[in-house]
Chains A and B, each alone.
Chain A
Amino acid sequence: MSKQALDALAAKFPSAVARTGSANSDEIAWIKRDDLLAVATWLRDDPAMAFDSPVFCTCIDWLDWRPVGRPPSEHWNESKPRFTVCYQLRSVAKKHRIRLEIEVPENDPRLPSLAELWPAFDWQERETFDMYGIRFDGHPDLRRIYLYEEFVGYPLRKDYPKEKRQPLVRRDDLPVNPLKKEHH
Chain B
Amino acid sequence: MGLELSTTRLEDAANWAKQSKLARIPEWGRKFSLFTYPFVTACCGMEFMSVAAPKYDIARFGAEFPRFSPRQSDLLMIVGTITEKQGPALKRVYDQMAEPKWVIAFGVCASTGGFYQNYHAMPGADQVIPVDVYIPGCPPRPEQVLDALILLMDRIQDGRGHSQLRLKRDAMIAAQEAQTGDE
Q: Residues on A close to B: CB < 8 A?
A: 146-148, 155, 160, 162-171, 174
Contacts and interface: CB of A to CB of B under 8 A. Distances in A.
B129 interface: yes
Given A163-B118, A167-B127, 13 more contacts: A147-B120, A148-B85, A155-B120, A160-B119, A163-B117, A164-B119, A165-B119, A166-B119, A167-B87, A167-B122, A168-B84, A168-B88, A171-B126
A169 B88 contact: yes
Interface in B128-156: 128-130
Contact of A167 (B84, B117, B118, B126): B84
A170 B88 CA distance: 9
Instruction: Give chain B's interface residue range (CB within 8 Å of chain A).
Output: 10 to 19
Interface in B96-111: none
A162 B116 CA distance: 11
Contacts of B117: 162-163
B91 interface: yes
A7 to B, nearest CB: 42
Nearest to A153: B119
B85 A147 contact: yes
Contact of B127 (A147, A148, A155, A171): A171
A171 B85 contact: no
A155 B84 contact: no
Given A167-B127, A170-B128, A171-B129, A155 B85 contact: no
Interface of A is mostly: loop
Interface of B is mostly: loop
A171 B129 CA distance: 6
Contacts of A146: 85, 120
A116 to B, nearest CB: 29
A6 to B, nearest CB: 37
Contacts of B88: 168-169
A169 B128 contact: yes
B20 to A, nearest CB: 35
Contacts of B130: 171
Interface in B1-35: none
B84 A166 contact: yes
A163 B88 CA distance: 20
Give the 5 A-B CB pairs with smallest separation, nearest first: A155-B119, A169-B87, A168-B87, A169-B88, A148-B85
Nearest to B91: A169
A155 B123 CA distance: 17
A105 to B, nearest CB: 24
Contacts of B91: 169
A148 B119 CA distance: 12
Nearest to B87: A169
A167 B120 CA distance: 9
30 contacts: A146-B85, A147-B85, A148-B84, A148-B85, A155-B118, A155-B119, A155-B120, A162-B117, A163-B117, A163-B118, A164-B119, A165-B119, A165-B122, A165-B123, A166-B119, A167-B87, A167-B122, A167-B127, A168-B84, A168-B85, A168-B88, A169-B88, A169-B91, A169-B128, A170-B87, A170-B128, A171-B128, A171-B129, A174-B126, A174-B127
A147 to B, nearest CB: 7
B110 to A, nearest CB: 15
Give the one of A160, A163, A169 with max B CB within 10 A. Answer: A169
A149 to B, nearest CB: 10
A171 B124 CA distance: 12
